[in-house]
Amino acid sequence: MENVLDSFSLKGKIALVTGATYGIGMAMAKALGMAGARIAFNARRADQVQQAEAEYKSMGFDAKGYVFDITKEEQVNQFVPQIEKDFGGSIDILVNNAGIIKRISVVEMTVAEFKEVIDVDLIGAFIMAKAVAPGMIKKGSGKIINVCSLMSELGRETVTAYAAAKGGLKMLTKNLACEWAEHNIQVNGIGPGYIATPQTAPLREPGHPFDQFIKGRTPAARWGLPEDLQGPTVFLASEASNFVNGQILYVDGGILAYLGKLPK
Ligand code: GCO
């Protein structure tokens, strides 16, 4: 019998992680690299891509960065083939991580601002999945991991566009899983809880009430770290999860299971 740990190896795999120049995306990409994958990543800003590529390489990862916008189908359809040419094979693992958030109340949010969030966080993931699927179908295997959110399940004031996008991303994940499972492509999601990253930095400023609120709402009584997402990422990217389809794996310290602490 094969050792079960061998099923977590990503040796020889080509992974593409969108928005992986910092935070959760970079942590997930590094995890894939530590498990043996070669890493392609993108962002919209050349300076961020160059800086991140230098960081990956300084840590010994086989990584290459590309500057393109996942919301622009023509750019995606130019760069995905370029990546597959540069890496000498079709993409085995896609992590749809790139995302934005705009914390604005609905009354104040413009339709254009709402659409921008939906474009990046939902439609961008659709465009990327659509672009990598033909290679995965031809190869007869593939892994797609969509970075969902607690907001795929819960709402809160001022993040309506983000929650609508992440709720849609949950159902996109389930539906792509239904369409592509017969091709041995597993499509799943990771739902980070409240993670200490630049995206949540405004909520963690000293004295911000949100810091205490989240620690009270999280059974683990702490903010998550990007590293907390690394094991789940390798699991969903590896053969260890070949019979896991259309699931959202919440890495949230227990928030979704918790009614909340009784006030003292
Ligand atoms: C917010 C936060 C959340 C988290 C994460 C939770 O403003 O409530 O930014 O959206 O970032 O998405 O899973």
Q: SS3 of 264, please?
A: coil
Closest-CA residue, ligand 1 atom 10, reads 151
pLDDT for position 207: 83
Which band of pLDDT confidence, cut at 50, 70 and 90, is reported for residue 260? confident
DSSP letter at 96 equals E
| Ligand 1 centroid from CA 103, angstroms | 10
Active-site residues, by number, are: 162
pLDDT for position 74: 98
CB-CB contact of 198 with 24 (8 Å): no
pLDDT for position 144: 99
pLDDT for position 247: 98
Which band of pLDDT confidence, cut at 50, 70 and 90, is reported for residue 107? very high
| Ligand 1 centroid from CA 58, angstroms | 30
Count of structural domains within the chain: 1
Among the atoms of ligand 1, which is closest to the Cα of residue 200? 9
pLDDT at 55 over 70: yes
| Ligand 1 centroid from CA 166, angstroms | 10
| Ligand 1 centroid from CA 35, angstroms | 28
> Considering all CA atoms of the chain, what is the largest pairwise distance in Å, rounded to the nearest integer?
60
pLDDT at 263 over 80: no
Structure tokens that stand for 80 in this block: 């995905």
Q: Return the best residue to mutate from 120, 153, 156, 200 for the ligand 1 pocket (most ligand atoms within 8 A of CB).
A: 200
**Where residue 131 sits, what CATH number does that domain have?**
3.40.50.720
Would the pTM count as exceeding 0.85?
yes
Residues 201-232: tens digit of each pLDDT: 999 988 889 998 999 899 999 999 999 999 99
Q: Is residue 262 part of a domain?
A: no
pLDDT for position 147: 98
Our answer on whether the CB atom of 150 is closer than 6 Å to any ligand 1 atom is yes
Q: How far apart are CA 23 and CA 253, in angstroms?
A: 18
Q: Is residue 258 part of a domain?
A: no
Q: Is residue 263 part of a domain?
A: no
Residues 108-151: tens digit of each pLDDT: 999 999 999 999 999 999 999 999 999 999 999 999 999 999 99
| Ligand 1 centroid from CA 41, angstroms | 23
Q: What is the mean pLDDT of residues 90-100?
A: 98
Computed over every residue of the chain, the mean pLDDT equals 97
Our answer on whether the CB atom of 194 is closer than 6 Å to any ligand 1 atom is yes
pLDDT for position 1: 61
Q: How far apart are CA 46 and CA 49, in angstroms?
A: 5
Q: Return the best residue to mutate from 203, 210, 213 for the ligand 1 pocket (most ligand atoms within 8 A of CB).
A: 203
CB-CB contact of 123 with 96 (8 Å): no
Q: Is residue 116 part of a domain?
A: yes
Q: Is residue 205 part of a domain?
A: yes
Q: Which of 126, 142, 134, 135 is nearest to 93 (CA)?
A: 142
Lowest mean pLDDT among 22-31, 57-66, 204-213: 204-213
Among the atoms of ligand 1, which is closest to the Cα of residue 152? 13
Among the atoms of ligand 1, which is closest to the Cα of residue 252? 13
Q: How far apart are CA 244 and CA 72, in angstroms?
A: 30
Q: Is residue 259 part of a domain?
A: no
User: What is the DSSP annotation of the chain?
Assistant: ---GGGGG--TT-EEEEETTTSHHHHHHHHHHHHTT-EEEEEES-HHHHHHHHHHHHHTT--EEEEE--TT-HHHHHHHHHHHHHHHTS--SEEEE---------TTT--HHHHHHHHIIIIIHHHHHHHHHHHHHHHHT-EEEEEE--GGGT---TT-HHHHHHHHHHHHHHHHHHHHHGGGTEEEEEEEE-SB-SGGGGGGGSTT-HHHHHHHHH-TT-S-B-GGGGHHHHHHHHSGGGTT--S-EEEESTTGGG---PPP-
Q: What is the mean pLDDT of residues 233-241?
A: 98
List the domain range (segments joined by +) for residue 221.
Answer: 4-253
Which band of pLDDT confidence, cut at 50, 70 and 90, is reported for residue 182? very high
Among the atoms of ligand 1, which is closest to the Cα of residue 150? 13
